Amino acid sequence: MTGKNRPYIICHMLSSIDGRISGDFFRLSELQPARSAFGRIRSEFDCDGILYGTVTAAVFDRSPYCSENIPAAFSLLDVQKLDEDTLWLRYRPKNIRGK
């Protein structure tokens, strides 16, 4: 990947003992140390973004962070194969909340 301007992607996963990655277990007080560690890691790595799945994101209250004007869905515009193991996906945001 020399000479290519690509982001670094690091996945940190928090799951329940039965392998679930979503649900009310995120709110358990016993998970507070893990949630704090994730916050510290995010700060130390100076992350530009965080990605949650729709089920996991639904557990959290979005009101302090989101307005009604943010995109609520995306339309796939284009897919380009850049090399053997890389796809470039281009999307158009659709604001179905604020219309």
| One domain for residues 14 and 47 | yes
Distance CA 50, CA 18 (A): 24
- Looking at residue 42, the DSSP 8-state letter turns out to be H
CA angle at residue 72 from 97 to 50, to 5 degrees?
A: 140
The range of the structural domain enclosing residue 45 comes to 7-60
Chunk the chain into consecutive blocks of 10 residues (it has 99) and report each block's average pLDDT, rounded to whole numbers.
67 77 78 85 79 68 63 81 85 65
| One domain for residues 55 and 12 | yes
**Residue at 2 is within a domain:** no
| One domain for residues 37 and 76 | no
| One domain for residues 54 and 73 | no
Q: What is the pLDDT of residue 1?
A: 45
Distance CA 58, CA 53 (A): 9
The distance from CA 50 to its chain's CA centroid, rounded to whole angstroms, is 4
Domain count, the chain: 2
Q: What is the pLDDT of residue 6?
A: 72
Residue type, 65: Y
Model confidence, pTM: 0.41
| One domain for residues 20 and 38 | yes
